Chain A
Amino acid sequence: MIHIENLSRRFGERPAVDRLSLDVSAGEIVGLLGPNGAGKTTTIRMLAGMIAPSSGAASVGGLDPSTQPERVHEVIGLLTESPGFYERMTARENLAYFARFYEGIDVSGAVGRSLDRMGLSDRGGDRVGTFSRGMKQRLALARALLHRPRILFLDEPTAGLDPEAARDLRRFIVGLSAEDRTVLLCTHNLTEAEEICERVAIFRTRLIAFETPSALREARFRPAVRVRLAGDATGLVASLRDLPFVRAVEPGPEEGGLTVRLDDVDRDRPGLVARIVELGGDVLEVAEERKTLEDVYLDLVREEE
């Protein structure tokens, strides 16, 4: 549904996006992750046909955003970082205004459906200036969905929302994928990305990694267990390293603790505990180390620096 090949954009001498290549399938939710200034918004703007690439090519729903921007605008919905509404106009008037730019759309039907979908029907007649940040964000999503686009670009959709509103919005985005809509999501919220994205593209001007969150975790971090002992654990480190299924042993992170990297946590954990007991260790707790997408992201970005 979205095909990007060596897409680059420079602002003067500074590269904002450097030879980005990736493919997004229909109905997939893909997260674009990267620090501020990594080029996420620039990428979305290039795909939306709003700014031109310096080099490379892209195809969005089979259309070229550089040469067919207006046709691309017919098939995409864009949620910008700032909701952006005419505050002296009502929610319904705002949506109707944007809906009238699309060809062949039943304006009042589309507005009513979108408001209803985002739970804003009862506030449709109120001026947007009276809306909370969360309501404006929902209204912005309603605007992006007015013309039933097949592809959605969402830039920080849950930024500034309270936890409940953010959760509701995340559920809604997952629901969009179930309708076979393709979603490209820019976010700084890595927990959110892990929860709703099927694949994530981590990039800092250039692409660093593009995989499913679990594949990234597995590729980056060998499975490990954390063992907490009564007393000093450093004396056991050398002996444990000799075990055939142990890949690495480090003291810590807390006092009396060990972090042991194994080939297979479930298979090797009993043997590890037995060996520690045999060596005289007094085991208080054994827990699997859970690496998150955030750990992967920070590790990759630091390495890139």
Chain B
Amino acid sequence: MTARRILNVVRKEWRLMARSPSNLLFVLVVPLLLVGQALLLTWIVPRFLAVGVPDSSTIAPGLPDADRLRVLLLDQFRFFVLLIPAMVANVFATLSIVEEKITGTLEPLLATPVRTWELLLGKILSGAIPALVVAWASAGLFMALAVASGWGPLLRWVVGPSWYLAIFLLTPAISTLSFVFGVIGSSRAGDAKGAQNLAVVVVLPLFALIAVQVTGLVHFTPLLTLLLSLGIAALDALMLRVAVRLFARESILVRWR
């Protein structure tokens, strides 16, 4: 019964999403912009920079400086891709509960036997799954365009255990976390803007992660990426419990007008 209820929420959310052209456009345009930006940087930066990657760096030793720089930039995409679910969540997850309040559907919904965690998990999965699919599709598109740009040989320095772990473990974990934060924001806020302000908190650590990687302060080895992914997955489970606790049916019904 629980699975049926969760699936029910997911299907309803997808149905509504599919019937809103502006939402679909947003989901498609944001990843394309990020892919485009990453490729543009990879193409343009080595042309303007006289300074290459320091010789002491472990990045693609033996390659010309411009290619080593390209490898460095291509490698950043695995972290840029994390921004996709975070940004999609900031729009969809933050609306998930607020919109139910606005349309008056929340009270009849809470009068059904659905449990809070079933409802919230359904809301989270309904956004996190498409965000994840879009993130993976973006990664695929990025690779295809990189190959088409003639950087195929450089990819062997980029795509390795760390890349796979980042794309297939870290991205789902971040995607889920983004939506958990979005849903928490949505259930606590009085309007969509307030919810988005609360949910933006998840984007800030991602920027920090990118900054740490770009500046070379920390090198994300496969082990570190794995530990980070598992840590965030554990945080997902913890935050889902927090979301259920924070979803105060009573105050949502009483305070919302």
Interface residues of A, Cβ cutoff 8 Å to B: 11, 45, 48, 50-52, 70-71, 73-74, 76, 78, 80, 82-89, 93, 97-98, 100-103, 140, 143-144
A77 to B104, CA, bound (A): 16
The chain B residue sitting closest to A153, CB to CB, is B111
Find out whether the CB atom of A100 lies under 8 angstroms from the CB atom of B111: no
Which A residues touch B105, using CB under 8 A? 84-86
A74 to B109, CA, bound (A): 13
List 10 contacting pairs A-B, 8 Å CB cutoff, sorted by A: A50-B107, A51-B250, A51-B253, A74-B113, A82-B107, A85-B103, A86-B12, A86-B16, A100-B5, A103-B113
- Taking a contact as CB atoms closer than 8 A, the residue among A51, A89, A143 that contacts B12 in the complex is A89
A103 to B3, CA, bound (A): 12
**Given A73-B112, A85-B105, A102-B112, A45 and B253 contact (CB-CB distance below 8 Å):** yes
- How far is the CB of B93 from the nearest CB of chain A, in Å? 17
Digit string of B103-122 for contact with A (CB within 8 Å is 1, else 0)?
Answer: 11111111111110000000
A23 to B112, CA, bound (A): 24
The chain B residue sitting closest to A75, CB to CB, is B113
B20, CB-defined interface residue at 8 Å: yes
- Taking a contact as CB atoms closer than 8 A, the residue among B8, B15, B19, B103 that contacts A100 in the complex is B8
Interface residues of B, Cβ cutoff 8 Å to A: 1, 4-5, 8, 12, 15-16, 19-20, 103-115, 249-250, 253-254
A167 to B253, CA, bound (A): 30
Find out whether the CB atom of A73 lies under 8 angstroms from the CB atom of B19: no
Find out whether the CB atom of B104 lies under 8 angstroms from the CB atom of A80: yes
**Given A50-B249, A51-B254, A93-B15, A83 and B104 contact (CB-CB distance below 8 Å):** yes
9 closest A-B pairs by beta carbon, nearest first, are A84-B104, A82-B104, A101-B112, A78-B111, A100-B8, A84-B105, A88-B19, A73-B113, A51-B250
The chain B residue sitting closest to A93, CB to CB, is B15
- How far is the CB of A12 from the nearest CB of chain B, in Å? 11
The chain B residue sitting closest to A127, CB to CB, is B19
Find out whether the CB atom of A80 lies under 8 angstroms from the CB atom of B113: no
- How far is the CB of B122 from the nearest CB of chain A, in Å? 11
Find out whether the CB atom of B112 lies under 8 angstroms from the CB atom of A98: yes
A50 to B251, CA, bound (A): 10
Which A residues touch B20, using CB under 8 A? 88
The chain A residue sitting closest to B249, CB to CB, is A50
The chain B residue sitting closest to A71, CB to CB, is B113
Which A residues touch B111, using CB under 8 A? 48, 50, 73, 76, 78, 80
**Given A51-B254, A70-B115, A102-B112, A97 and B8 contact (CB-CB distance below 8 Å):** yes
A273 to B103, CA, bound (A): 61
Find out whether the CB atom of B253 lies under 8 angstroms from the CB atom of A50: yes
Which A residues touch B8, using CB under 8 A? 97, 100-101
The chain B residue sitting closest to A74, CB to CB, is B113
- How far is the CB of A148 from the nearest CB of chain B, in Å? 14
The chain A residue sitting closest to B104, CB to CB, is A84
